[in-house]
Amino acid sequence: MRRRLLRLSVAVLLALIPSALGGLAALLYSDVGERTLGRLVAAELSARFAGRFAIEQIGGTFFNSLVLHEVRIQDSTVLPFATFRRLEVTYDASRLFAGQLVFDRVRLVSPDVRLVAMSGCPLIFPRIFRLGGGSRGGRPPFVEFRDLVLTY
């Protein structure tokens, strides 16, 4: 009885591993998966920041680079802040997992950034990205952009 249960458990586990890997590959490397991932990332960014984010599609290797298509950022009053036809970033995953947002290369294709001054806040982007302090009173996150390229 134990052997039969062990065989059944191993068979189920061996069936689930390829299914999970196939689902992950479909999510990361198909058009529908990349669009779904774009909506999920945009929803997560909108929840973490005060602005509203929309991302049409996400691609790249995910281990050291990302390509975001049709990125739109608005503040909470739906005032447009930035749109990019394409945003490409390369990074070191170990620094990213350490909580440091260090992007080795950032390429913005067809950027449209609007720096609007609001009352009580000199520019709109500190309010969107909640700059000026870390979460829960801690240190602010380390963010660095290297090799920024703007392509029109």
Does this model's pTM top 0.75? My answer is: no
Q: What are 54's two structure tokens?
A: 């929309």
Using left for φ > 0, alpha for ψ between -120 and 50, and beta otherwise, residue 120 falls in left
Number of separate helices (H) and strands (E) present in the chain: 4, 7
Residue 125 Cα to chain centre, angstroms: 17
Long-range CB contacts (within 8 A, 24+) of 113-119: 113/81, 113/82, 114/80, 114/81, 114/82, 116/79, 116/81
Q: Are the C-beta atoms of 87 and 107 separated by less than 8 Å? A: yes
> CA 111, CA 41: separation in Å to the nearest integer?
20
Residue type, 76: S
Tens of pLDDT, residues 45-78: 777 777 888 999 998 888 889 999 999 988 877 7
Helix (H) / strand (E) element for 26: namely: helix 2-29
Tens of pLDDT, residues 111-135: 998 876 666 656 666 666 666 655 5
